[in-house]
Amino acid sequence: MNRYQQLNVGNWELVLHLPPSYDHSDRRFPVAYVQDGGKLFTGCINYLEHLYASGQLEEVMLVGIVPHARNDEYTPWPAAALVDSYPPFGGQGRAYVDEVADVLKPYIDSQYRTKRQAEETAIIGGSFGGLISFFAGCWRPDTFGRTGLLSASFWYEGAMDFIREHEGFGKHQRVYMSVGEKEGIYKKSRQRHMAEYTREVHRLWLEKGMCASRLKLDVEPEGTHDDLFMMKQFPEALKWLFGKKGNTSGPDVTHAGTMHIPGTRTWSMHSGLTGRKYRIFIAEPMGPPPETGYPVLYTLDANATFGSLAEAVRMQSRGPHGIPSSVIVGIGYNSNDPIVTKERFYDYTVYADDSELPARPDGSGWPHTGGAEAFLDFVEYELKPLVEREYPIDRSRQSLFGHSLGGFFALYTLFTRPAAFRRYFAASPSIWWKNHILLQLWENQKENLALYQTDTELHLSVGSLEKPHMVSDAHKLHQTLTASAYGPKSVSILEVPNEGHVSLLPSLFSPMLRRVSD
């Protein structure tokens, strides 16, 4: 059976795949226009037809457009080549997009049963094809209401400046993005910023007001810049852009049952920003919300900390003399272990080479590190909005608690995005990480942070029986911040007598909850 039709429209060659039920119904179908001759769908058509047959994906008409000169047609304006021996980029993208919108789409609509509205029309591509698909969504929102950006080349000269200045997509538009964590890592050109720029674009669009229900980013930890990875993401793009009615939007969230502690819930949540799955624990407030909303505490290592915190807040917020009600949000992992080592080492740290870290006691190598920025994006742009849709939250009373490497992450957040939370609780923080990089970060950023002008609070704690360097590091940081003209107005330190690295935790929870709800 010939699955594809070869069409010539003017001087354009098209590769058309009709939905399986096209010849057996009088239905009209949404259409996806796909760059590079449709190789993104020709290589995975069996899987797409499985998604159709199993009801996971609405049937879509697929139109592959064969380019004449992709480095000209897929670039928005002229630019110099990355390598001197190559010709410059032609920058004929606007003419190409208008040709697709004003010539190819009208022809397909006239010859086939299509849904012609912008909301039923997608344009999708990978690499430069993703770049020009992005510009198609910007230039012709009247035509393309669905946009798939697979490993889009946002590194292109001037592209990030355009995105930073552009107002963003319209309310009727829906965007899927994907990138591999390993894309461009061996390059010396701007291409090495593939993952970084893609995350920045996603963050910028959220900040410009695009809600998570219309924007999704998938990050593949081992993904590289090649057809294999992009072809793998193409079905995910279609599922997001043309999913069955009633599909949830934003991060994949399903209710995963309840804990045995009354008043708690758990969610299973897949992050498009980190590519990881999280178990989110919620301790719901017992009393009605204040006029400004509930205070909220986000706690890391929730597999270990959440149960104690949930019980503490449930007991201590009982009336008539209890502390005010607050929401506790625990960020954990899909594991029965209290400390999920591999995942937390990546999510809570900046990258460190083994040469920048001490030898481990058992002589083993260190786990993968360096995911702090992506994890912080997940908290800010995926988790917080979801929590705020479920509960009335007072954004001026948000707190973050982390212990050990979680304490490092709490301090890293304070020194990079201090406005994310008002109160930071760092217990036994791993200040030693990467040759005391936190101290260096503070020195480099303190003037720009201007914490002294805010009501940000930092509460440090450490057990007196911990390793001497843990105790001394905590005190040194406290002294550094209190002595600095740029430090927070409120910085405290508590050295808990006769407690070690783990045993100090229960003694911290009650004072912390009182402060969180203040």
Quick check: is 157 catalytic?
no
| 282 conformational bin, left if phi > 0, alpha if psi -120 to 50, beta if neither | beta
Determine the Cα–Cα distance for residues 120 and 292; give it in Å rounded to an integer.
40
Determine the Cα–Cα distance for residues 263 and 117; give it in Å rounded to an integer.
45
State the DSSP string of 90-145: ---HHHHHHHIIIIIHHHHHHHS-B--SGGGEEEEEETHHHHHHHHHHHH-TTT--
Residues 6+ apart with CB under 8 A from 146: 30, 32, 119, 120, 121, 122, 123, 173, 174, 175, 241, 242
Amino acid at 355: S
Catalytic member of 73, 183, 466, 499: 466
Quick check: is 321 catalytic?
no
Q: Which of 232, 19, 249, 6 is nearest to 126 (CA)?
A: 232
Catalytic member of 193, 270, 436, 501: 501
Sign of CA dihedral 80, 83, 86, 89: negative
Check: CB of residue 147 under 8 Å from CB of residue 176. Answer: yes
Tell me which long-range contacts 46-54 makes (C-beta under 8 A, separation of at least 24).
47/235, 48/235, 48/238, 49/20, 51/235, 51/238, 51/239, 52/19, 52/20, 53/20
Phi, psi of 412 (to 5 degrees): -60, -40
Catalytic member of 326, 404, 428, 461: 404
Beginning with the edge strand found earlier in the chain, give each strand of the sheet holding 264-270 in spatial order.
252-255, 264-270, 277-283, 327-332, 294-299, 393-403, 423-427, 457-463, 490-496
Q: Catalytic residue numbers?
A: 404, 466, 501
